[in-house]
Amino acid sequence: MSKVRVGIIGIGSMGSNHAMSFVRGQVLDAELTAVCDIDPRRLEWAEANLGAEVQRFASADQLFASGCVDAVLIATPHYDHPPLAVAAFEQGLHVLVEKPAGVYTKQVREMNEAAAKSGKVFGIMYNQRTNPLYQKVRDLVHSGELGELKRVVWIITDWYRPQSYYDSGGWRATWAGEGGGVLLNQDPHQLDLWQWICGMPKRVRAFCYYGKYHNIEVEDDVTAYVEYENGATGLFVTSTGEAPGTNRLELSGDRGKIVVEDGRLTFWRLRVSERQFNAEYKGGFGSPEVWKCEVPVSGHHTGHVGILRNWINAIVKGTPLLAPGEEGIRGLTISNAMHLSSWTDSWIELPLDEELFYRMLQEKIAKSTFKKPSTNRTMDVSGTF
């Protein structure tokens, strides 16, 4: 194909931003040919801003039936990502989904199976993977430069949201409308980076506080502890109720410590490994010699556009995906485990009990203040849900 014909399902805040990236020519080998949204106001916006050549539809089924796209970008509310992706794969289309992959892993697993069966290119909008800073941290860990991981701590509390943010839409911060709070809305990128860098934990113990700082149903403050197969431990602290907040990632390994904060990476590198020093040193008090290293970080953080380009290149040239869609289930598994741990007041072993999580989530949805309209898939694709 000369150019990949792309359709966007849901042109709310994120969908419209992605649409403009295509219209401005920021993604080579691709052209935006269609958009859809159930909100007529968003279609009016599309007519005014995207050009008459971009077709507009009121439902995903109409878009699929048009035959005017080779690939779709799904930027709808969280619950709708998997069913829309499955429908797109059944139409023989390539798919890119916004984060998170979905709300519960059982549904996302079905999406992954449909993707594998289709043979189409499946990506997820984990744009933080394009950040050279986190790419370098991952390289230092995976190359063995940090040595065996001992501990990872991520404090990510700079997500402050006032009550008016939650009041701006009745679906916001509800179990029926959004499926979660800070873990599902703000933290998917960090949870993905966490597992991308450190791997998946083996078990999780979390303490989630629901409506601690806001009048909402879902969690706005979380402290979670995890354990890894090699004995390493991790701590994840997040909140939308702290100001000023912090974004600090610290990883301790056998050969030193890495800290990422304020957009900078600092590596304190041990001259010999801590385990070797511990076994050989005979002087009583003492510690390994440590060097504060300035690690070069090159490249630019290309963000959303970087993921769009990578997805299109994968379709056209077979370029490896930086963020394969199938990997979206990993960060979601961690957040599902955190929720389940809080709901059951217990440790959660991974892989988690997907059926138990689903049942307990349904109980939350049944009591939710937001009552989602009972509609079919084609009428549930609004980007401004």
Tens digit of each residue's pLDDT, the chain (385 residues):
589 999 999 999 999 999 999 999 999 999 999 999 999 999 999 999 999 999 999 999 999 999 999 999 999 999 999 999 999 999 999 999 999 999 999 999 999 999 999 999 999 999 999 999 999 999 999 999 999 999 999 999 999 999 999 998 788 899 999 999 999 999 999 999 999 999 999 999 999 999 999 999 999 999 999 999 999 999 999 999 999 999 999 999 999 999 999 999 999 999 999 999 999 999 999 999 999 998 989 999 999 999 999 999 999 999 999 999 999 999 999 999 999 999 999 999 999 999 999 999 999 999 999 976 543 333 333 343 3
Q: What is the pLDDT of residue 371?
A: 79
Q: What is the pLDDT of residue 170?
A: 81
Torsion angles phi and psi, residue 299, rounded to 5: 100, 175
Helices (H), ranges, 99-231: 105-118, 132-142, 163-167, 182-185, 188-198
Q: What is the pLDDT of residue 383?
A: 42
Torsion angles phi and psi, residue 82, rounded to 5: -65, -50
Q: What is the dihedral of CA 81, 84, 86, 87, to 10 degrees?
A: 180
Q: Which of 117, 64, 116, 113 is nearest to 93 (CA)?
A: 64
Q: What is the dihedral of CA 70, 379, 178, 122, to 10 degrees?
A: -10
Q: What is the pLDDT of residue 373?
A: 57
Q: What is the pLDDT of residue 304?
A: 98
Burial call 153-164: b when 16+ CB within 10 Å, e when fewer: ebbbbbbebeee
> What letter represents residue 146's amino acid?
L
Q: What is the pLDDT of residue 294?
A: 86
Q: What is the pLDDT of residue 381?
A: 39
CB 184 within 8 A of CB 223: no
Burial call 111-129: b when 16+ CB within 10 Å, e when fewer: bbebbeebebbbbbbbbbb
CATH number, domain 4-128+303-326: 3.40.50.720
Equal CATH topology for 4-128+303-326 and 129-293: no
Residue 339's alpha-carbon distances to 56, 204, 211, 279, in angstroms, are: 38, 10, 14, 41
Annotated domain spans of the chain:
4-128+303-326, 129-293
CA–CA separation, 178 and 185 (whole Å): 8
CB 221 within 8 A of CB 212: yes
For the segment(s) 129-293, the CATH number from 3.30.360.10, 3.30.470.20, 3.30.43.10, 3.40.50.150 is 3.30.360.10
Q: Which of 266, 232, 271 is nearest to 255 (CA)?
A: 271
Q: Which of 34, 23, 77, 35 is nearest to 383 (CA)?
A: 77
pLDDT single digits (tens) 57-94: 999 999 999 999 999 999 999 999 999 999 999 999 99
CA–CA separation, 268 and 281 (whole Å): 20
pLDDT single digits (tens) 286-297: 999 999 998 989
Peptide bond into 244 cis (omega under 30): yes
